A = this chain, B = another copy of it.
Amino acid sequence: MTYRIDNLQYANWSEKIFRQLREGDVDAIHVTISYHENFRETVLNLEQWNRWFEQYPDLICRGEWGDDVRKAKEAGRTAIFFGFQNPAPIEDDIGLVEIVHKLGARFMQLTYNNQSLLATGCYEAEDPGITRMGKQVIKEMNRVGLVVDMSHSADRSTIETAEISERPIAITHANLHSWQPALRNKRDDVVRAVIENGGMMGFSMYPHHLKGKSDCTLDSFCEMIATAAETFGAQNFGIGSDLCQDQPDSIVEWMRVGRWSKEIDYGEGSASAPGFPPQPDWFKDNRDFGNIEAGLRKVGFDETEVAGLMGDNWLRFYDENFAPVITI
């Protein structure tokens, strides 16, 4: 049995998208439920997911543990795992780490582009590394089983975290900087630090992370994955598509600016192209994972490697990293 997992999506959720997940045989996705939302606002987002679980029980179900992926596949549903792209939901309170894990959060970025209370984001001019609170929060995340995600963090902070963390960390959605030198893509030393410590990286199909952006070819994307596998081994990579399907452009503005600035920040966009860029034609939505699977075969991956990249590697990571450390 093999599993198909996409480890990062932030769609404008609807019955249409839940049905597309089923059409695409997607057994599990990790969804962002908070960017800049504080704890109380994040709870409202959780409530919305609870309603969707009630409304669409034949399409989706709550994901908390690796086995929920297996149960979902058996029942013909998609397991939904929660994550945050910013530590905003824990505010300045380390006690909220265990609370949000209990509520189902399984990934939390230490930063979203900017300096946070914990670490430095990839858009800051200086990266002084992990803060005092950051070290404490990483330890607590390790204890409860909340995975550290450094997708939007700066290099030094990421490498330090990979070393400080006693459990593997993740870059849920990014590509190789050597392939497409975007600020959000990861240099080899960053990838190496994460992977050598057992961590995972998910490849992104967000156009700003792709070579040629929206015009990127499937072959080029899969060749980048082949390069990554040759350099670091195939076992610690998977998909983290960063699919933001059906979102209005107001959402990308919320993602970039939140409430931290009164001035607009275009992030990976620009004043002339401020909105969401169009997806490449080989990955429009969740029905297109078959294209990626075919592309991976074409660049020479064997069946075990393809299965690993399409979901089995993330499932192994879920099995090992979501449960609290048992101390007694």
Contacts and interface: CB of A to CB of B under 8 A. Distances in A.
A78 to B, nearest CB: 14
A44 B99 CA distance: 10
Contact of A95 (B50, B103, B328): B50
Interface residue range, chain A: 20 to 34
A73 B39 CA distance: 35
A284 interface: no
Given A39-B43, A57-B328, A328-B57, A99 B93 contact: no
B328 A47 contact: no
Contacts of A54: 327
A46 B98 CA distance: 10
Contacts of A43: 39, 96, 99
Contacts of A104: 102
Query: What is the count of identical protomers in the complex?
Result: 2
Contact of A58 (B50, B51, B93, B328): B328
Nearest to A51: B95
Interface string A4-43: 0000000000000000000000000000000000011001
Contact of A57 (B46, B57, B58, B327): B327
A43 B46 CA distance: 15
A47 B95 contact: yes
Among the interface residues A39, A47, A93, A327, which one has the most CB atoms of the partner chain B within 10 A? A47
Chief secondary structure at chain A's binding surface: helix
B328 A50 contact: no
Contacts of A57: 327-328
B99 A102 contact: no
Interface in A86-135: 93, 95-96, 98-99, 102-104
A98 B50 contact: yes
A47 B98 CA distance: 8
Interface in A58-98: 58, 93, 95-96, 98
Contacts of A103: 99, 102-103
B93 A47 contact: yes
Contacts of A40: 39-40
Interface string A297-328: 00000000000000000000000000000011
A106 B47 CA distance: 18
Contacts of A44: 95
Interface in A281-302: none
Given A47-B99, A50-B98, 15 more contacts: A39-B40, A39-B43, A43-B96, A47-B93, A47-B95, A47-B96, A51-B95, A54-B327, A57-B327, A57-B328, A99-B103, A102-B102, A102-B103, A102-B104, A103-B103
15 contacts: A39-B43, A43-B96, A44-B95, A47-B95, A47-B99, A50-B95, A50-B98, A50-B99, A54-B327, A57-B328, A58-B328, A99-B103, A102-B102, A102-B103, A102-B104
